[in-house]
Every structure is written in structure tokens, then in C-alpha cells.
């Protein structure tokens, strides 16, 4: 008997707390304190970042590098600048300027610049960029759907719990 009275009092206090708060406050508080919902949000944001990263791969790329410098009799330096354009053929422009300075004869200075341009021609008619864009869009929609579905499922669970508590209170009042 004491157990039933204690349970009834706990339920009564819980129900009074529910009536003291409105529905949106209860759901908001539950969302803030639910670990599985936080994990779903982290997974959602991680997927969004992955999709954005794959879309960035088609941006302009610039690389600057210097081959090792030999400092024995001469100073040999080979700076290279590589630019990859974000087009269908992945046009690559490479500029290299090998430079040599003779320590013994400082009037001897040489460099021989080279310019290389590469472009890939795709004669198959298949456009990889369109397929990539469609795949990214599909992944973004699936990611959004999964996250929104998790939010909706959580709200349904909260509503069901509130409904159960209210029905228990009605049963206690009717006894």
C-alpha cells in the first residue's frame, strides 16, 4: 500500500510539473539532455562536412614547391608552381625555374624556366561532374532525411511518454 501511495505521489508531482511547463519547453529540455539525439546531430553535421569536402575538390588548386637545394660548389634551387583548374579536363599548368648560382664565379648565374600544360580530353561523352553533383545531392537529402526522422521519432517518444503520464494521473484520480 505504501508503494502505491509513493508511486502515486511521484506521478502526481511529475504531472503537476508537466502542467507547469508547456509542451515546447518539455520537448526542448528533453532534446538538450538526450545523448542519442546529440549523437544523431553529430553524425548529421559530420555527413554535411563530408559532402561539402567532396564538393570542394573541384576548386582551383595551387601548389608551390621547391626541390632540395644543393649547397656544395653551386646553389641549385628548383622552385615549381602547379595550378590545377577546376574544369572537366583538369587542366594543369606547371611552371618550373631551375636556378644555379656558382659560388666560385659569382658572375655565373643560370636558370632555365619550363612551362608545361596538361589537359585531359574525355571523348566518351560521360560527364563525371554531373554524376558527382547528383551523388552529393542524393547523400545530402538522405542525410537530412535521417536527421529529421530521428528528431521526429524522438518527439513522438516524448509525446507518448507525456500521454502515458497523463493517463496514469487520470486513473489515479478515478480510483
Report the alpha-carbon distance of residue 145 to residue 160 in Å, rounded: 22
Q: How far is CA 164 from the centre of its chain?
A: 38
Q: Is the confidence at residue 145, as pLDDT, over 90?
A: yes
Q: Is the confidence at residue 77, as pLDDT, over 70?
A: yes
Each residue of 28-39: pLDDT tens digit? 888 888 888 888
Report the alpha-carbon distance of residue 77 to residue 54 in Å, rounded: 35
Mean pLDDT of 41-64: 78
Q: Mean pLDDT of all residues in the chain?
A: 77
Cell numbers linked to 29: 529540455
Q: Is the confidence at residue 80, as pLDDT, over 60?
A: yes
Amino acid at each position: 500500500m505504501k508503494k502505491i501511495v509513493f508511486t502515486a505521489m511521484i506521478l502526481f508531482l511529475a504531472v503537476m510539473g508537466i502542467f507547469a511547463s508547456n509542451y515546447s519547453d518539455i520537448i526542448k529540455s528533453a532534446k538538450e539532455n538526450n545523448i542519442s539525439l546529440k549523437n544523431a546531430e553529430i553524425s548529421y553535421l559530420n555527413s554535411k562536412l563530408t559532402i561539402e569536402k567532396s564538393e570542394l575538390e573541384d576548386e582551383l588548386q595551387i601548389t608551390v614547391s621547391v626541390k632540395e637545394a644543393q649547397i656544395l660548389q653551386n646553389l641549385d634551387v628548383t622552385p615549381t608552381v602547379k595550378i590545377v583548374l577546376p574544369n572537366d579536363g583538369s587542366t594543369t599548368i606547371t611552371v618550373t625555374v631551375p636556378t644555379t648560382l656558382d659560388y666560385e664565379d659569382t658572375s655565373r648565374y643560370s636558370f632555365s624556366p619550363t612551362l608545361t600544360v596538361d589537359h585531359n580530353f574525355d571523348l566518351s561523352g560521360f560527364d563525371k561532374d554531373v554524376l558527382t553533383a547528383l551523388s552529393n545531392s542524393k547523400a545530402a537529402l538522405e542525410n537530412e532525411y535521417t536527421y529529421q526522422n530521428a528528431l521526429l521519432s524522438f518527439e513522438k517518444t516524448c509525446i507518448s511518454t507525456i500521454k502515458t503520464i497523463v493517463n496514469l494521473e487520470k486513473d489515479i484520480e478515478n480510483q
